[in-house]
Chain A
């Protein structure tokens, strides 16, 4: 009995002897909300901007009053030879331990990206504290400025930035790129990374007086950056992106504006609501080719002219117009990627490799050229399924009277 008691005593005292190893209270942490990476003031140096949330202000007054400065975040920069060194230098400024697990987004300046992002990918995937689902984006502006841009909608700018990406699969203004996607594309032997791009633009915002010309810089989604290996080689604008994203992700939506079948100067807008996209590789005479097929069902969402969903001729004409418009858009983007940038961000290499694993060995050495020379054959079929709530055209009653 005595021995048992002794053992229990020892077990419990070892528990106390741990002295709370690894313990850090949540209020002793500087929760990072966003990270910006710019070029340093000197050549070869890197500047890291960290946006740390100030919970006391970010959450208003819960309980006791805190030392408030009214700002929800605390943005601080540090420079170093490497990212890690820059972050180490942060500790000289930050009174709390910098904690990365809640980071929303990493913003990389394009100047840095042109020189290569290999070290960035490595650092942010090697560190166990960072989540692999953090968003990554490029910016032509200063990353430090971008991360600290205040929107009046969200409490912390980092959160606002990340929430811009919430509906990218509908708007297709930028791809949704997490660090895990970046890593996968970077490590892949076929496909190349494509990163979302955000930029600052002056806009009139409610609350400021527009008549006095007051404007405020706001962050907006603006296309994507195309990489070759770890270097940024080109930019795709937001309107060129729809065709590219089709190849990479399942996109739910998209808007196509075509001119009316009868009245050419008025427009009809259709929304793509179901898209089935299929790419099949071909390999004939040692030449790589792809057959891409797009089945889209579209809904008429706005008609500036007399258009009736029950009129078969109208519908047929509209379908053809939509198909032509889609073909034009997609071809334009593909052409730019294939001929101008010559990097496989369409992930076609992956498709080819899956179908022809043996042939892939032959072509992979010179995949850059094979890709740019590949013939991509587009088949597009659009069907107008619905006119939303209206079957009949919206025409003024007076015009109808004239017709009769």
Chain B
């Protein structure tokens, strides 16, 4: 910016101000310049700038109405004698809920470009910045990538305000803080950083802000830009920043002491720091019963192992270690491979690539043609290839199981990173057998062990082993058994009151009486007892209660 300090501020002359705006924004068709004459007698001219499409018509109409008609009427009726034009307009004319006065040209430009209106009044040094943002957005919809059976159906949208509101609606915590910044020299994309001051680790927010501030880029079009620019190990196939479309996932991450990064114009919100195991955990795990939740989680762990290793192990066994296959199975495999002209490794690569092709084509195809791909693909892979003798039926099964398993991983970015690291494993085990497999697997394991995500070990809580966090790793413990927040959280680490395991009332001592009066009485006394207990027992929640002023108790009394 080569403007001088004089140039960067507005003056009292309307024409000059208009010229300044015009100089910077040019004559774009969507830039609307609306001239308004204000105050019947004095005939002060003023100009309203806004961008057509970004500013809501309703809001702009309101401004014009106030300036041209209602404001004048009001002043006349009340015989107001205020000479200062700025104060008059500020206090008695504009009826919009939020506006501010600014003097810098730069700020005015950003305001106009982000959908607000700028009102310049002749003779006023300050310009009125009126919030008129309002454009068409997609409504809150079910998230496309992370679907659940049980759980909320609302997903993030492209509007950052809607997104933060979705999280705020889930956490009415006064300690939930949202900080804003804008990244991108040209795009000036809004970024919000969300965290709960009571649970977030010291220094984590600063680190996130530092990394975000370091980003110098012309434009941010999706949170993927940010993800790549703040990742700890840029060359790793593993994703160290989790992205999600689900507000409930973000809310739970915030409760665990993580930091969420909202980016405008994308439904994908980033969560840091991220553990690898998070990618294998679905929201359903927490909403279903703990037994079902744990079972499905274990299924997903199995799917992870299968999608990573099954093809490699098959190739390794069939081309190097035939003695390790049980005899009847060895015969079956051999019979299927009898006329296959390719070595197993090539056969596997062929099938894997065909599978990836089908997946990619299915994704890119226009929806109406999508069906054709699946029909042709399944015919080619399932039937024709086997009948033509190009691949063995066993290989088809192996690749299909591997593919299905990779889809069972709830997070898409994790599933493609696993799909990527599968190929070096496959080539190593196809060329060096068990030796190659174990060496490549060790290399991958060592790499995964070495990387960090915002100061946290990527494979935690498995390594370094954190006993308390095991309650929510391989299996999910019932809610009433998970008293503490994960190791990651700081400050308020207790999330559960004492004696939360539910149990029926003592059957022997106080049998339920059929008499209505007695029952209601006993219930009342029991409720009182419970209330007292609340205050006595819940040590961890006391701090929060004090802050919220015991609202709950008061309401109950009413």
User: Residue B431 at the A interface, CB < 8 A?
Assistant: yes
- CB nearest to A102 among chain B residues: B327
User: Residue A15 at the B interface, CB < 8 A?
Assistant: yes
- CB nearest to A104 among chain B residues: B327
A180 to B393, CA, bound (A): 37
User: Residue B134 at the A interface, CB < 8 A?
Assistant: no
**Residues of chain A in range 12-61 having any CB-CB distance to chain B below 8 Å:** 15-16, 18-27, 29, 31, 53, 55-56, 58-60
Stretch at the interface among B194-202, B270-278, B338-346: B338-346
| Residue pair A23, B338 in contact (C-beta under 8 Å) | no
Stretch at the interface among A62-70, A256-264, A279-287: A62-70
- CB nearest to A29 among chain B residues: B322
| Residue pair A23, B387 in contact (C-beta under 8 Å) | no
A129 to B389, CA, bound (A): 30
| Residue pair A55, B338 in contact (C-beta under 8 Å) | yes
| Residue pair A31, B334 in contact (C-beta under 8 Å) | yes
| Residue pair A18, B331 in contact (C-beta under 8 Å) | no
Given contacts A20-B319, A23-B320, A101-B322, contact A59 B335 (CB under 8 A): yes
A66 to B335, CA, bound (A): 9
- CB nearest to A159 among chain B residues: B327
In the complex, what residues of A have CB within 8 A of residue B54's CB?
Answer: none
Contact mask for chain B residues 147-181; partner A; CB cutoff 8 A; 1 contact, 0 none: 00000000000000000000000000000000000
Given contacts A27-B338, A58-B331, contact A63 B323 (CB under 8 A): no
Secondary structure of the A side of the interface? loop
In the complex, what residues of B have CB within 8 A of residue A22's CB?
Answer: 320, 433
| Residue pair A26, B436 in contact (C-beta under 8 Å) | no
A34 to B220, CA, bound (A): 69
For the complex formed, measure the closest distance between the CB of B330 and the CB atoms of chain A, giving whole angstroms: 6
Best-buried of B330, B389, B392, B430 by chain A (most CB within 10 Å)? B330
Given contacts A16-B431, A102-B323, contact A62 B388 (CB under 8 A): no
Best-buried of A18, A20, A26 by chain B (most CB within 10 Å)? A26
| Residue pair A24, B432 in contact (C-beta under 8 Å) | no
For the complex formed, measure the closest distance between the CB of B76 and the CB atoms of chain A, giving whole angstroms: 75
A contacts with B, residue count (CB < 8 A): 32
A88 to B432, CA, bound (A): 27
| Residue pair B331, A27 in contact (C-beta under 8 Å) | no
Picked from B318, B330, B336, the residue with its CB within 8 Å of the CB of A102 is B330
| Residue pair A63, B336 in contact (C-beta under 8 Å) | yes
Picked from B331, B340, B392, B430, the residue with its CB within 8 Å of the CB of A53 is B331
User: Residue A99 at the B interface, CB < 8 A?
Assistant: yes
| Residue pair A64, B388 in contact (C-beta under 8 Å) | yes
| Residue pair A24, B335 in contact (C-beta under 8 Å) | no
Picked from B331, B389, B392, the residue with its CB within 8 Å of the CB of A31 is B331
For the complex formed, measure the closest distance between the CB of A142 and the CB atoms of chain B, giving whole angstroms: 25
A69 to B155, CA, bound (A): 62
- CB nearest to A20 among chain B residues: B431
Contact mask for chain B residues 377-395; partner A; CB cutoff 8 A; 1 contact, 0 none: 0000000001111001100
Given contacts A31-B334, A62-B335, A64-B386, contact A25 B392 (CB under 8 A): no
User: Residue B88 at the A interface, CB < 8 A?
Assistant: no
User: Residue B8 at the A interface, CB < 8 A?
Assistant: no
Size category of the binding interface on chain B: 20 to 34
Number of A-B contacts (CB under 8 A): 99
Given contacts A15-B432, A20-B430, A64-B339, contact A25 B344 (CB under 8 A): yes
Contact mask for chain B residues 303-343; partner A; CB cutoff 8 A; 1 contact, 0 none: 00000000000000011101101010011111111111001
- CB nearest to A21 among chain B residues: B432
Given contacts A22-B433, A63-B387, A63-B393, contact A29 B334 (CB under 8 A): yes
| Residue pair B436, A55 in contact (C-beta under 8 Å) | no
User: Residue B428 at the A interface, CB < 8 A?
Assistant: yes
User: Residue B427 at the A interface, CB < 8 A?
Assistant: yes
In the complex, what residues of A have CB within 8 A of residue B327's CB?
Answer: 31, 102, 104, 159
**Residues of chain B in range 415-449 having any CB-CB distance to chain A below 8 Å:** 427-428, 430-433, 436
In the complex, what residues of A have CB within 8 A of residue B338's CB?
Answer: 27, 55-56, 64, 66
- CB nearest to A33 among chain B residues: B327
Given contacts A59-B335, A62-B393, contact A25 B319 (CB under 8 A): yes
| Residue pair A25, B343 in contact (C-beta under 8 Å) | yes
Picked from B320, B323, B335, the residue with its CB within 8 Å of the CB of A58 is B335
| Residue pair B337, A26 in contact (C-beta under 8 Å) | yes
A66 to B433, CA, bound (A): 28
For the complex formed, measure the closest distance between the CB of B394 and the CB atoms of chain A, giving whole angstroms: 8
| Residue pair B431, A62 in contact (C-beta under 8 Å) | no
| Residue pair A25, B432 in contact (C-beta under 8 Å) | no
For the complex formed, measure the closest distance between the CB of B496 and the CB atoms of chain A, giving whole angstroms: 48
**Residues of chain A in range 94-116 having any CB-CB distance to chain B below 8 Å:** 99, 101-102, 104
Best-buried of B322, B339, B340, B392 by chain A (most CB within 10 Å)? B322
| Residue pair B432, A27 in contact (C-beta under 8 Å) | no
In the complex, what residues of B have CB within 8 A of residue A104's CB?
Answer: 327
Given contacts A31-B330, A55-B331, A102-B330, contact A62 B336 (CB under 8 A): yes
Given contacts A64-B387, A64-B389, A66-B339, contact A26 B322 (CB under 8 A): yes
| Residue pair A55, B431 in contact (C-beta under 8 Å) | no
In the complex, what residues of B have CB within 8 A of residue A26's CB?
Answer: 318-319, 322, 325, 330, 333-334, 337, 344
Picked from B334, B387, B428, B431, the residue with its CB within 8 Å of the CB of A27 is B334
| Residue pair A63, B319 in contact (C-beta under 8 Å) | no
| Residue pair B323, A15 in contact (C-beta under 8 Å) | no
In the complex, what residues of A have CB within 8 A of residue B334's CB?
Answer: 26-27, 29, 31, 53, 55, 59
For the complex formed, measure the closest distance between the CB of A24 and the CB atoms of chain B, giving whole angstroms: 7
In the complex, what residues of A have CB within 8 A of residue B432's CB?
Answer: 15, 18, 21
- CB nearest to B430 among chain A residues: A20
A227 to B340, CA, bound (A): 48
In the complex, what residues of A have CB within 8 A of residue B322's CB?
Answer: 24, 26, 29, 31, 99, 101-102
A86 to B266, CA, bound (A): 74
Picked from A55, A63, A131, the residue with its CB within 8 Å of the CB of B386 is A63
For the complex formed, measure the closest distance between the CB of B484 and the CB atoms of chain A, giving whole angstroms: 42
In the complex, what residues of B have CB within 8 A of residue A64's CB?
Answer: 338-339, 386-389
A404 to B519, CA, bound (A): 72
A44 to B167, CA, bound (A): 89
In the complex, what residues of A have CB within 8 A of residue B320's CB?
Answer: 22-24
| Residue pair A18, B323 in contact (C-beta under 8 Å) | no
In the complex, what residues of A have CB within 8 A of residue B333's CB?
Answer: 26
In the complex, what residues of B have CB within 8 A of residue A55's CB?
Answer: 331-332, 334-335, 338
A257 to B360, CA, bound (A): 74
In the complex, what residues of B have CB within 8 A of residue A159's CB?
Answer: 327
Contact mask for chain B residues 96-136; partner A; CB cutoff 8 A; 1 contact, 0 none: 00000000000000000000000000000000000000000
Contacts A55-B331, A62-B332 supplied; 17 other A-B pairs, CB < 8 Å = A16-B431, A19-B431, A20-B345, A22-B433, A23-B431, A24-B319, A26-B337, A31-B322, A31-B331, A53-B331, A53-B334, A55-B335, A63-B393, A99-B322, A101-B323, A102-B327, A156-B331
A-B pairs with lowest CB-CB distance, top 8: A101-B323, A59-B335, A55-B335, A55-B334, A64-B389, A27-B337, A63-B393, A102-B327
Chain A residues with CB under 8 Å of chain B are 15-16, 18-27, 29, 31, 53, 55-56, 58-60, 62-64, 66, 99, 101-102, 104, 129, 131, 156, 159
19 pairs from A and B in contact (CB 8 Å cutoff): A15-B431, A15-B436, A18-B432, A20-B319, A20-B343, A23-B319, A25-B318, A25-B319, A26-B322, A26-B330, A29-B322, A31-B327, A53-B331, A59-B334, A62-B335, A62-B393, A101-B323, A102-B327, A156-B331
